[in-house]
């Protein structure tokens, strides 16, 4: 038995909970696996997870019941993630590391379930809409030198948090602050689940003002806001992740499996949805999936005298199975580098043939699906919707002496969004006044980014006078 690696994995799979007081230990629970099952259940029962049913995956506000939403995508990614985690656990056992494969499967499944929980309405277009609004209203950080400049940010990292608004960072915030916001750690998920979910464990501004290292996949985006940095640091240090620079960490090894599950489902399932909506010919869809499935020599496609649904089902299952096998192989080959914090590429790209076939799929889907006229029109409307909501709510919350209209807008924002850990504050004015301007803006983006596509459009229309409440 490899005792040193086994001990390392015991730390990486720690069932300690975020924000728990130091004296409390997971030994209170006789079976640690139940701790990770609780994570899974808490995510399922959270309001943020339920709202994913009306959030864009690729095709906004689709009238088709078949087309995936963020909710169905997350559930499918969770299924793939569980398989990846269990198989990765077996590969570790084959390397003489004492781990429980089912435990890895549960952690990865829970992290996959929550990986998109911070995405705003209209998907990545919603992120861009929030970024555009911040850049339009606060175009640079030069105001630091101007004593009379009226900006809500005290440091560059605060401005960058919102000027580069990131769904991954919002997801960390939802899990660890916005759910059960009266206590430190929110719903207090295990640090193992939070670590597995964290693809980009770094802040929005890197130390010494350096640019991100493009050779490091963990620096491609950022994973937590300045407001949550202390909590993030505590989580990642408890897991023993390599801290290259202050608050800049290596990935948790299981985060590579979560990313792989997302990559697999994004490529294969978005291709399928594009075919179902008639944007890509079904023959092309099936052929592309069968090409991926052929990575496993035993795959047998259905081509003669079958309906499209049957052929598509076989091709989809074969492609997902083949990609799971490829990613588990890559994990087994590179896991020691992951443990040391030196591995910096996706599992799919670590298998060149699989990576090239997936790249072909994503290029076609992007051209025919993501850039289709209907999608672009709704995404453009999403810019107006989210920008319009921020135009109304942000000034109302930032104002020290709100006017009558701003007072009404403040009343529309649920009081819970202004609460911090500690005693509940019943006065809306008092709750807002104790927050810095930056924190007030975060409360607004918490509210707007948590909306479903449909609710965001409905509320914008009502506030604009285009449509009145029934």
What's the confidence (pLDDT) of residue 353? 95
Predicted confidence (pLDDT) per residue in 167-214, tens digit: 999 999 999 999 888 888 888 999 999 999 999 999 999 998 799 999
Q: What is the CATH number of the domain that holds 314?
A: 1.10.3410.10
- The last residue of one of the domains, among 325, 343, 367, is 367
CB–CB of 33/102 below 8 Å? Answer: yes
Q: Could you give the CA distance from residue 255 to residue 233 in angstroms, rounded to a whole number?
A: 17
What's the confidence (pLDDT) of residue 196? 98
What's the confidence (pLDDT) of residue 30? 47
Buried b / exposed e over 317-341, threshold 16 CB at 10 Å, is ebbbbbbbbbbbbbbbebbeebbeb
Q: Could you give the CA distance from residue 445 to residue 202 in angstroms, rounded to a whole number?
A: 20
Please indicate, yes or no, whether residues 268 and 242 belong to a single structural domain of this protein: no
Domain of 139? Answer: 121-164+372-470
Where would I find the beta strands (DSSP E) of 203-354? 243-245, 248-249
Please indicate, yes or no, whether residues 225 and 312 belong to a single structural domain of this protein: no
- The last residue of one of the domains, among 367, 386, 412, is 367
Predicted confidence (pLDDT) per residue in 124-147, tens digit: 888 999 999 999 898 766 554 554
Please indicate, yes or no, whether residues 284 and 337 belong to a single structural domain of this protein: yes
Please indicate, yes or no, whether residues 128 and 143 belong to a single structural domain of this protein: yes
Q: What is the CATH number of the domain that holds 199?
A: 1.10.3210.10
Please indicate, yes or no, whether residues 181 and 271 belong to a single structural domain of this protein: no
Which residues neighbour 61 within 8 Å (Cβ) at sequence distance 6 or greater? 378, 453, 454, 457
Which residues neighbour 214 within 8 Å (Cβ) at sequence distance 6 or greater? none
Q: How many domains does the chain contain in total?
A: 3
Crossing angle of helices 352-365 and 282-293, in 10° steps, is 170
Please indicate, yes or no, whether residues 247 and 387 belong to a single structural domain of this protein: no
Q: Could you give the CA distance from residue 262 to residue 267 in angstroms, rounded to a whole number?
A: 8
Please indicate, yes or no, whether residues 68 and 187 belong to a single structural domain of this protein: yes
Please indicate, yes or no, whether residues 423 and 453 belong to a single structural domain of this protein: yes
DSSP class of residue 366 equals I
Percent of the chain with pLDDT over 70: 90
What's the confidence (pLDDT) of residue 63? 52
DSSP alpha helix (H) spans, 164-219: 167-173, 191-197
Q: Could you give the CA distance from residue 244 to residue 257 in angstroms, rounded to a whole number?
A: 22
Please indicate, yes or no, whether residues 464 and 360 belong to a single structural domain of this protein: no
Residues of the chain with pLDDT under 70: 22-33, 56-67, 140-150, 369-375, 468-470
- The last residue of one of the domains, among 232, 254, 276, is 254
H helix or E strand, kind and range, residue 327: helix 308-340
Please indicate, yes or no, whether residues 32 and 173 belong to a single structural domain of this protein: yes
Please indicate, yes or no, whether residues 399 and 380 belong to a single structural domain of this protein: yes
Please indicate, yes or no, whether residues 111 and 38 belong to a single structural domain of this protein: yes
């Amino acid at each position: 038995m490899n005792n040193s690696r086994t001990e390392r994995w015991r730390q990486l799979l720690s069932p300690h909970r975020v924000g728990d007081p130091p004296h409390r230990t997971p030994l209170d629970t006789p079976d640690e696996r139940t701790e990770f099952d609780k994570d899974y259940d808490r995510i399922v029962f959270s309001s943020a997870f339920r709202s994913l049913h009306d959030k864009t995956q690729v095709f906004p506000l689709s009238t088709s019941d078949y087309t995936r939403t963020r909710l169905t995508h997350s559930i499918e990614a969770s299924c793939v993630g569980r398989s990846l985690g269990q198989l990765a656990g077996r590969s570790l056992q084959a390397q003489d590391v004492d781990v429980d494969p089912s435990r890895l499967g549960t952690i990865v499944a829970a992290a996959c379930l929550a990986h998109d929980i911070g995405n705003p309405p209209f998907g990545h277009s919603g992120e861009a809409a929030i970024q555009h609004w911040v850049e339009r209203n606060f175009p640079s950080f030069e105001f630091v030198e101007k004593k009379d400049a009226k900006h809500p940010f005290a440091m560059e990292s605060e401005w960058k948090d919102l000027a580069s608004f990131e769904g991954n960072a919002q997801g960390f915030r939802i899990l660890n602050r916005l759910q059960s916001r009266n206590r430190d750690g929110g719903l207090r998920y295990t640090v193992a689940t939070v670590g597995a979910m964290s693809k980009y464990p770094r802040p929005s501004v890197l130390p010494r003002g350096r640019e991100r290292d493009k050779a490091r996949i963990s620096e491609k985006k950022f994973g937590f806001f300045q407001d949550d940095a202390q909590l993030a640091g505590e989580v990642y240090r408890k897991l023993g992740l390599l801290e290259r620079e202050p608050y800049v960490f290596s990935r948790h090894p299981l985060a590579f499996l979560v990313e792989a599950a997302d990559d697999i489902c994004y490529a294969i399932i978005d291709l399928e949805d594009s075919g179902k909506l008639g944007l890509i010919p079904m023959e092309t869809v099936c052929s592309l999936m069968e090409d991926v499935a052929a990575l496993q020599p035993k795959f047998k496609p259905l081509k003669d005298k079958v309906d499209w649904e049957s052929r598509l089902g076989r091709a989809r299952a074969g492609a997902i199975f083949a990609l799971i096998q490829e990613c588990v192989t890559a994990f087994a080959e590179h896991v020691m580098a992951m443990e040391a914090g030196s591995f910096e590429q996706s599992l799919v790209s670590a298998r060149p043939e699989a990576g090239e076939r997936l790249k072909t799929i994503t290029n076609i889907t992007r051209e025919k699906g993501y850039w289709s006229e209907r999608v672009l029109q709704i995404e453009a409307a999403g810019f107006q919707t989210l920008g319009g909501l921020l135009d109304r709510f942000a000034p109302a919350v930032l104002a020290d002496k709100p006017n009558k209209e701003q007072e009404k807008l403040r009343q529309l924002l649920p009081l819970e969004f202004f609460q911090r850990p500690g005693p509940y504050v019943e006065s809306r004015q008092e709750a807002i006044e104790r927050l810095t301007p930056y924190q007030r803006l975060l409360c607004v983006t918490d509210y707007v980014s948590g909306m479903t596509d449909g609710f965001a459009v409905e509320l914008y229309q009502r506030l604009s006078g285009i449509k009145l409440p029934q």
